[in-house]
Structure 1
Amino acid sequence: MAASLSAVIDQVKFDLISKTQAAENAAKRKEIARTFISDTITVPTEEMYSYAAHASLGDDVYSIEPSTAALEAHMAKITGKEAALFMPSGTASNQIALRTHLKQPPYTILCDHRSHINKYETGGAAFHSGAALTAVIPSNGHHLTLADVKDNIITRTDVHFAPTEIVALENTLNGTIFPQDEIVAISRFAHSLEIKMHLDGARIWHVAVETGTSIKELCDPFDTASLCFSKGLGAPVGSCLVGPKDFIAKARWFRKLFGGGMRQIGILSGCAAYALTKNFPQLPRVHALAKKAEAGLEEIGASILSRAETCMVLYDPSPLGVTYDEIAQRGSALPEPLFLGGSRLVIHLQTEDAAVDDFLAIVRQLAKEKRIAGFIKPEGQFMDVYAKRIV
């Protein structure tokens, strides 16, 4: 029996830390510093882990985990809401918010056609809430306006139409800032019709530092908001849903129902707290680096599809006779490779200045080679504003 038990124990045990793990992690951090795909790829620093390791111990399903409760109270305070709930992801946070707002179909959610809720949450609104989406193309090409909302909101009692019950806005969206005065106007109109307002504020931190506006003021027009700790702030996992106390109590039930109830999450809350304190103040540098990339691309002659209002710039190299694939291939061939994806260039906390310099040098060199080869920019060339993007 003892021999048999020993064999079972030997079969189960597993060591995932390789002998070269420290070197591998250092290499991964270098890779991330030269990756422009997304800001979701940032990794916790040793300092973040060290801080988080001191967080409290407790099961957040059986009872309220102390460090998590403290984080949730802080998030409620800075957003000006009554309560908050730690969520495993931004998608979970948005979808549980929608499900908690929506009671009985038929109903519709109005949003920007480019929004995360519409494009990148696997049809969750339909699956979880039985909701249709009214996905609106902004008339100004930048952000939804009050006129856009008025033109597309459904308030009729005609049985052919599902009435709008939520207006869901995203700020930032593809790195662009939604003007606060427009949000306030939309909110007043929606609330006058007893329609709820939800904010996908995954990257709202960028708006706060770029505009000097408090998180509370940015969240005030909304009944509920989702704020991400891993996008932009560099925490490994998590978002936070904020709203009225009764709403958050119901959302906790839905979090459990959706499989998002979490146990020993003090360490994750510790990472989020570290990110709020240490990483949030670094975002101005991120924005400056994005603007440097934009200015360099413009100086070389690339077209800017969406300006670097915060941490992203969308560009088109075709006026130079250059393709995204050529840039990516040249970047991947560097002694210290660059990792690129289509038109969207994302700068994040761990982007190194040299990576932006190397990227611009590649575009500049390719443009030079095309000119020498006889390329002439076509007049009136069509630019696809909605070129390939990666979440």
Structure 2
Amino acid sequence: MLGRLPLSFRLSRFSANILRRAMSNESQFSSVADQVKFDILTETHALDNATKRKEIARTFISDTVTVPTEEMYSYATLATLGDDVYFEPSTSALEAHIAKITGKEAGLFMPSGTASNQIALRTHLKQPPYSILCDHRAHIHKYEAGGAAFHSGAAVIPVVPTNRHHLTLQDVKDNVMITTDVHFAPTEIVALENSLNGTIIPQDEVIAISDYVHSLGLKMHLDGARIWHVAAETQTSIKELCDPFDSVSLCFSKGLGAPVGSCLVGTKEFIAKARWFRKLFGGGMRQTGILAACAAYALTNNFPQLPRVHALAKKLEAGLEEIGATILSKAETCMIFYDPSPLGLSYDEIAERASALPEPLFLGGLRLVIHIQTTEQAVEDLLQVIRQLAEEKKAAGFMPQPKVNGSEIKDVYVRRTPKA
């Protein structure tokens, strides 16, 4: 019947059907798009960010809480566009710069310090059985979810320093596993961390350990997440601090205040293999230019702030000692470990009173961390909280206890918080 109608009418009706289907499809797609769309910005977004920045300025839990400034954000928007699995210019430039200042041949941008450390270990380790020797408090041993065992099938030899401060050459000699006995996993890597819990390993000790380890044909890795603090405090170049090591991991998101990222450095051959493992572990990223730009901004603008951070940490330490708390680990860089029990106080009491202030303080236990966004006022307020609580205890009849010698860096948290 339709075939008897004029051609123009049939074409018109056909067009109308196409139009109706198109309109129906458009309506259906609009419904799907409505379900997909999402806006993270709220009416109070700017105020919330300002509140968060104030909170961070009064947080002593870790330096991982630092956030980008508006100036860092602005600089990041100028970064190049590129896919880092293929080639990203800003990221490549950052990798080359970090390789240069560490005295290594090549660098590789990593999403985290844990990824950087674990990929370094996996790249060094060829054929099991093997073991890694490190300080018993080392991040690669205690705070990377057993990554050495999972990713590399490696045993870890955690060593307690005899001096209760840092590993020595003798500690390494006493614990390194050099044997053909089938009962043991021979040591392939000695991994040091500098700084570790805020303390600095003397460079002459690092060199002595490195010379010995290399004489055995073994590798040296440095978890240098906070090596920036060591350089600032000792006024030693990054290259000199990294020279004794075959590979080094350096973090941008802790003391330097960038939002994301670390860099692994080593030989060209080592980094080429590490890049492969980064992809294998799911760490290959795309548009990393903005992250590299944040790191570059941090190197230029935030690294110079570290001496002020250390001075503020020493001020906090002196205040705690004046009140009567025991210092378990002194403020060599940005961290203090303290014990308030001689004042009759617990970490929970201090944290609860501090969190009840009109402008709360955020604490994590015996470790206090100062960072580039910590304010002088936050330190004063924390000391005042502890001073007032101590006076209340004394008024209630508590007799201050004799101080004990704080010679050992403890690694315990009353309130469990991330170690990083």
- Report the TM range for the smaller structure's normalisation: over 0.9
The 5 Å alignment of 1:163-312 reads 163-312=186-335
Task: Tell me the secondary structure at the aligned position of residue 40 of structure 1.
Answer: helix
Normalising by structure 1, report the TM-score.
Answer: 0.98
Supply the distance in 2 between the matched residues of 1:160 and 1:244 (Cα, whole angstroms): 33
User: Of the candidates 47, 58, 70, which is equivalent to residue 71 of structure 2?
Assistant: 47
The 5 Å alignment of 1:1-391 reads 1-61=25-85, 63-379=86-402, 385-389=409-413, 390-391=418-419
Paired letter, 1:348: H
Q: Tell me if the contact between 2:342 and 2:403 (Cα under 8 Å) persists in the aligned partners.
A: no
Give the percent of matched residue pairs that are identical in Structure 1 and Structure 2.
75
Please list the CA deviations of residues 238-271 of structure 1 after superposition, one character each: whole Å capped at 9, or x if unmatched.
0000000000000000000000000000000000
Task: Tell me the secondary structure at the aligned position of residue 399 of structure 2.
Answer: coil
Normalising by structure 2, report the TM-score.
Answer: 0.92
Paired letter, 1:178: I
Q: Tell me if the contact between 2:105 and 2:268 (Cα under 8 Å) persists in the aligned partners.
A: yes
> Which of the pair has more CA radius of gyration?
2
Deviation at 1:58, TM superposition (A): 0.3
Task: Tell me the secondary structure at the aligned position of residue 109 of structure 2.
Answer: strand
Paired letter, 1:127: F
Unaligned runs of 5+ in 2: 1-24
Please list the CA deviations of residues 268-289 of structure 1 after superposition, one character each: whole Å capped at 9, or x if unmatched.
0000000000000000110000
Deviation at 1:16, TM superposition (A): 0.7
**Cross-structure match for 2:22:** none
Supply the distance in 1 between the matched residues of 2:409 and 2:164 (Cα, whole angstroms): 9
Task: Tell me the secondary structure at the aligned position of residue 135 of structure 1.
Answer: strand
Deviation at 1:64, TM superposition (A): 1.5
Supply the distance in 1 between the matched residues of 2:401 and 2:111 (Cα, whole angstroms): 48
Deviation at 1:344, TM superposition (A): 0.3
Deviation at 1:30, TM superposition (A): 0.2
Please list the CA deviations of residues 297-328 of structure 1 after superposition, one character each: whole Å capped at 9, or x if unmatched.
00000000000000000000000001111110
Deviation at 1:139, TM superposition (A): 0.3
Supply the distance in 2 between the matched residues of 1:5 and 1:238 (Cα, whole angstroms): 38
Paired letter, 2:49: N
Supply the distance in 1 between the matched residues of 2:394 and 2:400 (Cα, whole angstroms): 9
Supply the distance in 1 between the matched residues of 2:307 and 2:411 (Cα, whole angstroms): 27
Deviation at 1:156, TM superposition (A): 1.1
Supply the distance in 1 between the matched residues of 2:211 and 2:28 (Cα, whole angstroms): 70
Q: Aligned-residue CA RMSD in angstroms? A: 1.1
Deviation at 1:377, TM superposition (A): 3.2
Task: Tell me the secondary structure at the aligned position of residue 30 of structure 1.
Answer: helix
Q: Say if 1:287 and 1:380 are closer, same or farther in 2 by CA, change over 3 A.
A: closer
Task: Tell me the secondary structure at the aligned position of residue 70 of structure 1.
Answer: helix
Please list the CA deviations of residues 159-196 of structure 1 after superposition, one character each: whole Å capped at 9, or x if unmatched.
11110000000000000001100000000000000010
Deviation at 1:382, TM superposition (A): 9.0
Deviation at 1:19, TM superposition (A): 1.1
Q: Structure 1 segments of 4 or more deviating over 2 A? A: 377-385, 387-390
Task: Tell me the secondary structure at the aligned position of residue 236 of structure 1.
Answer: coil
Please list the CA deviations of residues 120-162 of structure 1 after superposition, one character each: whole Å capped at 9, or x if unmatched.
0000000000000000000000000000000000001111111
Task: Tell me the secondary structure at the aligned position of residue 185 of structure 1.
Answer: helix
